[in-house]
Structure 1
């Protein structure tokens, strides 16, 4: 920290100015200042922005006369001639509804108006960042049309557009300054961990829907672009500080703190530098859902096989004769981590314009580290998690080329389910615990005369307190008596518990510990060239990308126990666009070819039509056909993770034999002639297994009628899992955008998506002996049917594609209008529907995880009176089914109200802001198994140059 502050001090002291400084002020037609207006020298990249009082200082090497262009969101643009350096520029901009006239780049990789974009697009600019009702701009994305959030932690939120999303959303791509900030190991975005801060956001663009024709694999259901401020344009020192509190039923009321600083300067027209630093800390939305995964009542009192959703260790269970199925006691999630969240983000960049024109070279380094919680198959405490990106890029008027590396280090991260298991095993082994339970149950019934419920509760108390071997029917845990048995369960908060948990968190062996190791990397490069200055009949672009994945988990996540696993992929594309019918009809067509090392090549075409009607071309109709594809992730291909009750095995052909384990055969199986132990690997999971649903049906039938083995066996269905391949989507979209009477914005869209080879996971049961692909022979004592009856089987989660038809459809309506003076009212509605016949693939889990109905509305006024503004947002969604490898369940319908007020002090360059989220609402959830989201209020002070 001291070195960083020293660097900033030296950095700030080096600020120098060019020769000519042009001063001025920008106001609206009511003489109110317009902050954040863009002022640029015509035909040049030299520019600046206006302060909160509308004033600006434009530094340029150009000598008058020249002209400057002034633009601001919500106002018509203007140009002014500068005749002398001493001239005081006064610009008055007229109000105009320009939300749909803003310029975007992402939809076609070329500048165009939002109004004429060939696909649906949403945008957030500097003005929207200032007026957001959320604590950060990234949180504020939830108020955009088409966006749904999945919140795993107060600092880990992921974007979902058009369905099929989990906490780790591998179907959605997020680019920060052109870099994919997905996790190199698991290939999904970690929220804003290594993103941008509020004071460095220049613009955010969101493309919901398939975008693979331009952006390749994983731009499947949407892509988010976050662009930072260029130091040539946005100079000076900016900072902010936020303080607030969070309130949740489980966690109570806790402090929230966030601060950041940005420094940027252009030494001259050739060199500029920028640095950012951000720090945030808060208390987690604590997950404490105690519903029983195994059914029955909540708690072990009355339900001896209780498995609480956010209780870990109670998944360890066994069947005890004359008692039934019994689980260990376990620990609540809130006791297995400190529930503190912190985040540090920093980035440094050098910008060079070697010829003082639009060609720019950028060297950039970004890092993010901190603590948060991620939910996948289990719940993971990401402690001291670190991710960095290093980039070199050169871009000009018609081209760019960039190369970057993404690296991550899991730090002291650990799996909380394994932490619960192994902390309790440190006190007493599973064998000893269940033995003590069974013995105590039988003796307490016979000797003490307890009924079944009383005996069960007594047996649990005894097994949790008595030290094996030996048995005392009246446990003695008096700490003052050295001869008393040591407590065999470490109670949370005790030194024994803390010591055991620390030991488990630092041990990467999942049989004893919970720590996972990850130092994976991504190496990526891409290029693009636009021939518009060389080819006149149409605008033609070509480009391509190449990427290498390097998995390095030392065998703790992937099967890379003998060294890092690497594989490559690349893609090339071209796009052409042309105007017809007096520039009213725009046709855009593109095609991309991608090839991954492990799969066949994939072709992704796209074609779209935009027709602009009306005298001012303000009525725009569009139609598009797009395709998308998604390569199986590194996890889909190379994971090899023993999660206890089941194991995850990736589908790459070489991975099937890379994952192996030794399993113990039951005494009954050994008596029938099986070996005491058997080796099991991925081949057993993919080629010699039954579907888990049929195994469960077999078990239920056999339990109901133990003598009818043949009848139960008839229910079994071999899995025959095919190896995974890329999934594809064909997307059809219609839309209409318009600006009516200069104050009403209308945005309509509808889509239909058809998915082929939809990627999914399945649970299967691999047998220890016998062949599931041959006819059942009940006379064979080593038949796979008997292996299942003796529980000589292993549950695996495997990765494959469904052959079933999967489709989704939806539509959206967005309206925005100035209703009175400067009051702006906005509203939008989205409908989403899954189209899938479960009977085609009974075991397939779609994980659509999207409400059918969503409504959002806003009311705000950026200039309610002088220097004062406010904004409010309300969101509502209908209930929907959540499906994931961690847990399934219904997400209730929710209404959330957020609001903020802000006051500017232009003379001091200050902006005060007070806001609150979930005002007056109850705690609500967005993810089954994650913490409920409570209320949050915050007050911030921002200083801008």
Structure 2
């Protein structure tokens, strides 16, 4: 790394020979400042942003004369000439420009207008943050076309594009000032729980679809980029306060508040610093569904009841009352019986909290564009996470620390991301083990059976009870003395269980995983007289898994592994800058897999006499490495045992199980057997065939499961689009087709505890005796999976200055579920979505308002926690805002889901209610 930095300094020598400084102010036709206007040197990847008062300072390696382009959403682009060093400019922007004139960086790693981007890109800047109707800027992203947000909890929202959405969204990347915001052990982004304060957000860009050619393995199904305000251009103290209520039928009305502060100052032309702090607290959305998905219509009187948001009742067994009572077959019969569970509300307090701090030091040794940055970001949050179970994430902490050296032509950065699970725990295992601390499963089922048999035979009363009466009596007897929620015994057991990381006796979630990352990029354009935009770069990452054996199979110590990659992109403008060609390629290597090459080729062409039409098309290949959990998980989640398929992982996962009929034939006389994770892949039956065997008793229905060890997932993505400015109408249309190979997903296999699958004797006997375990294997689809979709957005002004926007998104999946019944794609995306916005940023002087409408089609939700239908829903958000320039303040009142029509986006999560809020932002 030392040699790499020295090489960069040597190459930089030519760019440090001379510098030109330009200052100025950007204002509208009325003389009002235009904050956050983009100032870009024409033909060069150099630029800056105006501050709140419209002032800017630009330092560039270009020698006058050259041109600057100044743009801001809502205004036409202006071009001004720079003829001398230290020139001062007064720039006037006229209204009536469109979002297509906004400058983005993410699509090509260089500044360019959205209008000319070779791929689809969505942008959310300071103006959108001010006018968002959602309670936060992050929630406001769901109003962008083609962007979905699944609400897991009040403080955890998961962004997704183009399908395959779960809360553990491992196919979507989020970069915050260039740092991957993925939680290292969880392998997915926790929304903005430990992200960025809205006071420090300069812009948000979203690239839907694959971008592996520039961003590597994680950039598979979309990327979100957040850029913060630097302390040179955005100085001073900013603050906001926000309060209101959350309203939900299950939770009632509860106070919600959020506040933050940002301070930034340039102490000289060489040194600047900034710091931000924000705090949010509220009541999370309660999840209180008690229906039994496996037995529709069943209630707690059913002996096999297993409620959706009721935990502990997953522990069940078949009780053969005739065998247990020594009775002739058919006397009393048998039944599947589950233990009595606890409601989710008994197991968590539903606190939602987010605390975020961010601080950075900026040093420019030569008072020019060469800059050394240290950035530290620490977030702490409390939320609910729904994975295979529902987790109460309390005090989860994630830290990011970065050191970066950059100028307008290059950057090299190294950073570390680490997480600490805090006091997080699994609510399902909390209920299971609180029950067991009071009474063992063996004792509970024994009491149940004895009481049931006695009631059916009329022992003591002389009256023969019905099955319903006998089951009620049996449960009441077995539950006698059970710890009631709120009691001292319950609290004591709860505290003991949630502080114990062994899931056989506790429920604590332990994770201190981290990763280290180094990446760099160099733009060679200035070295070749801007003949073309040529970029080269690379990255290296090391994972360190550390869960003390509670999540991963790292019981003997942390597990480490590495991956690296490099890329190159060439972008060239031709035909009077109407045609832009882009070609890029990247090679990546993970130590467990063969290297992968990701190429991308695209073009955009500007048409029309006024250059107001643009066509674009691109094709690229991408890949996604298996996650840390895909490779090294070793977790008994209750419903199934999860075993990652790294070759070194299969034999590290060793578990001991009791068997129902110990004997010389298959257990050597032992009461228990040992099974390794390898059995999930090499000695198991398919889930559907075991179901058929259970229904028919026919062993020929059994099929051997043969999941292969997980390999990188691949995608071929084709996209085409059209953008146009037709008078007052802006049109943005795109369509895509994605073809996936080696699609990574989970397959549930059934492992017999003795015998070899296919022997038609011992393994079948194990199934018949109930001596088997469900395992979740991590593997790849044996067939290609395809998806496709399209978006169209139309924006215009009506009735003078009123903004109106409408967009529609279509998404569909092509997968033969009948041929592969046990394979789960987790597509989880509605086929049709419609969004609309209406408002006016200046209805009258300093007063604006906005309304957002969203409608989602119904869809099927498929995830490890539960499957089921999600009904269609409609959401209406609204806000009004008033600006007081004299005190640099914006006052806002608004509501999310103002109609209070509660809805859910995933089976098992809480219904989403309404948030009503007022806010005051100073110096936004």
Same fold (TM over 0.5): yes
User: 2:724 — aligned with what?
Assistant: 738
Pick the aligned partner of 1:406 from 382, 401, 417: 417
Q: Which residue of 2 aligns with 1:397?
A: 408
Look up the SS of the partner of 1:533 in the other structure: helix
Pick from 630, 644, 661: which aligns with 1:636?
A: 630
Residue 213 of structure 2 is matched in structure 1 by 213
Q: How big is the shift at 1:300?
A: 1.4
Match among 646, 650, 661 for residue 652 of structure 1:
646
Aligned-partner SS, 2:678: helix
Summarize the alignment of residues 762-773 of structure 1 with structure 2, pairs less than 5 Å apart: 762-773=747-758
1:754 counterpart (739, 750, 755): 739
Q: Deviations over 1:590-647 (max 9, x none)?
A: 1111100111111111000111101232211011101111100000000000123421
Does structure 1 residue 367 correspond to structure 2 residue 360? no
Provide the rounded CA distance (Å) in 1 between the counterparts of 2:319 and 2:41.
82
Q: Output aligned runs, 1:300-379, within 5 Å.
A: 300-301=300-301, 303-321=302-320, 322-379=333-390
Which string of whole-angstrom CA distances, capped at 9 and with x for unpartnered residues, describes residues 878-909 of structure 1? 10010001100011101000000000111111
Q: Secondary structure at the match of 1:157?
A: strand
SS at match of 2:526: coil
Question: Which of 470, 489, 500 does residue 493 from structure 2 map onto?
Answer: 500
Q: Which residue of 2 is the match for residue 600 of structure 1? A: 594
Mapped contact 2:59–2:368 kept (Cα < 8 A):
no
Distance apart, 1:442 and its partner CA: 1.8
Give the whole-Å Cα distance in 1 for the aligned partners of 2:603 and 2:131. Answer: 34
Q: Does the 8 A contact of 2:245 with 2:917 survive in 1?
A: yes
Superposed, 1:409-558 pairs within 5 Å as 409-445=420-456, 446-447=458-459, 448=461, 449=463, 450-465=465-480, 487=481, 489-536=482-529, 537-558=531-552
Partner of 2:885: 906
- Pick from 677, 682, 687 the counterpart of residue 682 of structure 2: 687
Measure the CA separation in 1 of the matches of 2:33 and 2:594: 58
State the Cα distance separating 1:111 from its structure 2 match. 1.1
Query: Counterparts in 2 of 1:17-166, with a 5 A limit?
Result: 27-29=27-29, 34-37=34-37, 49=50, 51=52, 55=53, 71-78=71-78, 92-166=92-166
Q: Does residue 566 of the first structure (1) align with residue 560 of the second (2)?
A: yes
8 Å contact from structure 1 (residues 668, 790) kept in 2: no
Give the structure 2 partner of residue 181 of structure 1. 181
Tell me what 1:860 maps to.
Answer: 839
- Please list the CA deviations of residues 390-431 of structure 1 after superposition, one character each: whole Å capped at 9, or x if unmatched: 001111121111100001101111111100101111111111
Contact 1:32–1:866 (8 Å) recurs in 2? no
Distance change >3 Å, CA 39–CA 116, structure 1 → 2:
closer
Secondary structure of the equivalent of 2:818? helix
Question: Match of 2:609, SS?
Answer: coil
Offset of residue 82 of structure 1:
12
Which secondary structure state, in structure 1, belongs to the residue aligned with residue 193 of structure 2? coil
Residue 194 of structure 1 deviates from its aligned partner by: 2.3
2-structure distance, mates of 1:758, 1:162: 15
Task: Report the Cα offset of residue 33 of structure 1.
Answer: 5.9
Shift of 1:684: 1.4
Segments of 5+ residues of structure 2 without an aligned counterpart are 1-20, 321-332
Deviations 1:138-184 (A, max 9, x none): 01111111111111111111111001111010000000000001011
Contact between 2:77 and 2:101, CA under 8 Å: does it hold in 1?
no
Q: SS of the residue aligned with 1:636?
A: helix
Residue 692 of structure 2 corresponds to residue 697 of structure 1: yes
Shift of 1:196: 1.2
Q: Distance in 2 between matches of 1:752 and 1:876?
A: 24
Which residue of the partner structure matches residue 471 of structure 1? none
Q: CA deviation at 1:304?
A: 1.1
**Structure 1 residue 34, shift from structure 2 partner:** 4.4
Distance, in Å, in 1 between the alignment partners of 2:422 and 2:914 is: 30
Using the alignment, how far apart are the partners of 1:398 and 1:791 within structure 2?
65
Q: Greater shift after overlay, 839-848 or 410-419?
A: 839-848
Mapped to 2, the partners of 1:330 and 1:414 lie a distance apart of: 17
Change (3 A) 1:80 1:618: closer
SS of the residue 1:130 aligns to: helix
Aligned partner of residue 717 in structure 1, secondary structure: coil
Contact 1:554–1:561 (Cα < 8 Å) also in 2? yes
The answer on whether the counterparts of 2:612 and 2:725 sit within 8 Å (CA) in structure 1 is yes
Alpha-carbon contact 2:572-2:581 (below 8 Å) kept: yes
Distance 2:653 2:548 in 1: 13
92-101 or 642-651, larger mean C-alpha shift:
92-101
Residue 57 of structure 1: how far off its partner (Å): 6.0
Residue number in structure 2 paired with 1:664: 658
Structure 1 residues 69, 729: closer, same or farther in 2, change over 3 A? closer
1: CA distance between counterparts of 2:82 and 2:97?
A: 28
- 1:10 is aligned to none
Query: Aligned ranges for residues 910-925 of structure 1 at < 5 Å?
Result: 910-925=889-904
1:7 alignment partner in structure 2: none
Q: 1:5 maps to what in 2? A: none
Q: Does the Cα contact within 8 Å between 2:399 and 2:417 map onto a contact in 1?
A: yes
* 2:293 paired with 1:293: yes
Question: What is the CA-CA distance between 1:452 and the residue it aligns to?
Answer: 1.4
Pick from 895, 907, 913: which aligns with 2:874? 895
SS at match of 1:771: coil
Structure 2 counterpart of 1:706: none
Q: Deviations over 1:827-884 (max 9, x none)?
A: 1000001011123322111111000000000001111100100111000011001000
Give SS of 1:384's match.
strand
Tell me, in whole angstroms, the C-alpha distance in 2 between the residues paired with 1:328 and 1:744: 62
Deviation sequence 1:801-844 (CA, Å, 0-9, x none): 01122100111111100112221100100000101112332211
**Post-superposition offset of 1:382:** 0.8
The correspondence for 1:609, drawn from 603, 609, 629, is 603
Give CA-to-partner distance per residue, 1:752-793, whole Å, 9 cap, x none. 11000100111111112211145x3x4xxxx21111111111
CA distance in 2, matches of 1:673, 1:349: 62
Match of 2:3 in 1: none
SS at the partner of 2:690? helix
| Corresponding residue number in structure 2 for 1:725 | 711
- Equivalent pairs counted in the alignment come to 881
Which segment drifts farther, 93-102 or 396-405?
93-102
In 1, the alpha carbon distance for the partners of 2:422 and 2:407 equals 39
1:803 is the counterpart of 2:798: no
Report the equivalent of 1:14.
none
Per the alignment, residue 245 of structure 1 pairs with 245
CA distance change for structure 1 residues 686 and 89 in 2, over 3 Å: closer, same or farther?
Answer: closer
Cα separation, partners in 2 of 1:737 and 1:61, compared to 1, 3 Å: closer
User: Cα–Cα, structure 1 residues 730 and 672, in superposed 2: closer, same or farther, change >3 Å?
Assistant: closer
| Whole-angstrom CA distance in 2 between matches of 1:929 and 1:157 | 15
1:268: which partner in 2?
268
Offset, 1:32: 5.9
Question: How does the TM-score come out when normalised to structure 2?
Answer: 0.92
| Corresponding residue SS for 1:164 | coil
Partner of 1:483: none
Partner of 1:234: 234
Counterpart Cα distance in 2 of 1:559 and 1:672: 28
Q: Which residue of 2 aligns with 1:812?
A: 791
Q: Is the 8 A contact 2:254 2:283 kept in 1?
A: yes
Per the TM alignment, residue 444 of structure 1 is displaced from its structure 2 partner at its CA by 2.5
